[in-house]
C-alpha cells in the first residue's frame, strides 16, 4: 500500500508510542521511514528506532524551535530529495494545564499546550512543503475535541485547535495535491497518556462506551488507519477526522452491558451458529 513512499514520523519515544506503531505499519506496507525526536528523548527514540522491522535514523525536531524545522527540511532534502508523507504525533501540556485545574491554569501554560500540540502541525506542514513535490499526505493524531473530558483540560482545547488547523491546511494545501487529515484515537496507554491524571478513568469509560472491543494497550488499529491515510487509497480525502476509537464517538451514552449482552445472545441465536461470537462485554467492564 505504501511501496516507494517516504514518510517522516514525529513523536516517537517508547515502543508504546502511537508513532512507533505507525512507523512499523508504514514499513510493513512497503514504505520508507525516518523518525524525529527531541532533546532528552533521543536515547529512548533511538532504542525504539532499532526495534522497528527495519532500523531507521532519528533526526532532531523540537517543534518549538524554528531552526530545527529548517535543519530537518535540509537534512530530508539531502537524504531523500522529496517526501510523500508526514505524521504529526506530538503533544505536550504543562502539569498545571491538565488534570482538573482548568479554571486556574496560567495563560502561559495554556499557550505552551496550544503551540506545541496544535500550531506545530502548521509549522511541520510549512517546513516540509518544498519536499512534497509530487503531492503528499499529512496525518495528525487527535483526541475527539467536540466535547469536554475529565482531566484533559487545556490539552482538549489544544486538540480543538488542532482540528481547526487540519481544516485550514486542507484548504491551503489542496491546490498542491497535499492532503491533511487527523485520526481521533481512543485512549491508549502511552507516555503522554500516563502524564494525564485520571487517564485510567477515560480508558475505563471506553469499555462502557465503545460498541467494538477497545484495547488501550494496542495502538495497531490506529496505526493502520494512519497508514491508510498516507496511502493513495485515500487520494480524495482531506480535512477529515477519522475516529478510530471502537465507535465510542458515535454513542450518546454508556452502553448497558446487560442489555448489550442480551442483544448479543439474541443475534447469535438468530444467526444459528453461523457467526463467530465477539467477546462478552461484561468481561471488559470496569470494576
Ligand X SMILES: NC(=O)c1ccc[n+]([C@@H]2O[C@H](COP(=O)([O-])OP(=O)(O)OC[C@H]3O[C@@H](n4cnc5c(N)ncnc54)[C@H](O)[C@@H]3O)[C@@H](O)[C@H]2O)c1
Q: Which residues contact 257 (CB under 8 A, 6 or more apart)?
A: 208, 281, 282, 285
Burial 256-273 (b: 16+ CB within 10 A, else e): ebeebeeebeeeeeeeee
> Alpha-carbon distance 284 to 109, whole Å?
36
Q: What is the CA radius of gyration of the chain?
A: 20
**Near ligand X by CB under 6 A, which window of 15-23, 71-79, 163-171, 264-272?**
15-23
Out of 2, 13, 49, 125, point to the residue binding ligand X (CB under 6 A). 13
Nearest to 185, CA basis, from 230, 234, 139:
139
Positions marked catalytic: 152, 159
Q: How far is the CB of 142 from ligand X (least distance, A)?
A: 6
Nearer to ligand X, 59 or 83 (CB): 59
Q: Does 166 bind ligand X (CB under 6 A)?
A: no
| Binding to ligand X, residues 136-155 (CB under 6 A) | 141-143
Alpha-carbon dihedral sign for residues 76, 45, 29, 142? negative
Q: Is 200 in the site for ligand X (CB under 6 A)?
A: no
Among 27, 48, 190, 207, binds ligand X (CB under 6 A): 190
Total residues at the site for ligand X (CB under 6 A)? 28
State the first-to-last Cα distance of the chain, in angstroms, to the nearest integer. Answer: 41
Q: Does 187 bind ligand X (CB under 6 A)?
A: yes
Residue ranges binding ligand X (CB under 6 A): 11-14, 17-19, 38, 41, 61-64, 89-92, 116, 141-143, 185, 187-188, 190-193
Amino acid at each position: 500500500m505504501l511501496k516507494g513512499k517516504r514518510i517522516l514520523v514525529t513523536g516517537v519515544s517508547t515502543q508504546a508510542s502511537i508513532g512507533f506503531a505507525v512507523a512499523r505499519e508504514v514499513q510493513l506496507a512497503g514504505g520508507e521511514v525516518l523518525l524525529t525526536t527531541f532533546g532528552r528523548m533521543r536515547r529512548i527514540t533511538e532504542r525504539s528506532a532499532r526495534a522497528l522491522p527495519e532500523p531507521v535514523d532519528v533526526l532532531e525536531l523540537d517543534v518549538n524551535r524554528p531552526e530545527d524545522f529548517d535543519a530537518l527540511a535540509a537534512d530530508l532534502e539531502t537524504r531523500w530529495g522529496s517526501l510523500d508523507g508526514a505524521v504529526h504525533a506530538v503533544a505536550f501540556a504543562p502539569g498545571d494545564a491538565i488534570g482538573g485545574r482548568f479554571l486556574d491554569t496560567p495563560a502561559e501554560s495554556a499557550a505552551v499546550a496550544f503551540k506545541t500540540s496544535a500550531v506545530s502541525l502548521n509549522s511541520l506542514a510549512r517546513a516540509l512543503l518544498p519536499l512534497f513535490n509530487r503531492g503528499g499526505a499529512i496525518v495528525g493524531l487527535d483526541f475527539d475535541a467536540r466535547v469536554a473530558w475529565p482531566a484533559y483540560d487545556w490539552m482538549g482545547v489544544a486538540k480543538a485547535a488542532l482540528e481547526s488547523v487540519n481544516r485550514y491546511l486542507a484548504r491551503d494545501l489542496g491546490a498542491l495535491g497535499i492532503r491533511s487529515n487527523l485520526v481521533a484515537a481512543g485512549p491508549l496507554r502511552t507516555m503522554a497518556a500516563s502524564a494525564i491524571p485520571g487517564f485510567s478513568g477515560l480508558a475505563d469509560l471506553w469499555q462502557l462506551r465503545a460498541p467494538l472491543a477497545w484495547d488501550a494497550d494496542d495502538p495497531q488499529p490506529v496505526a493502520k488507519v494512519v497508514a491508510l491515510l498516507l496511502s493513495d487509497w485515500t487520494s480524495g480525502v482531506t480535512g477529515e477526522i477519522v475516529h478510530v476509537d471502537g465507535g465510542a464517538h458515535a454513542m450518546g451514552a454508556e452502553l448497558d452491558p446487560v442489555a448489550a449482552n442480551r442483544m448479543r445472545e439474541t443475534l447469535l441465536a438468530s444467526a444459528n451458529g453461523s457467526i463467530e461470537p465477539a467477546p462478552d462485554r461484561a468481561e471488559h467492564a470496569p470494576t
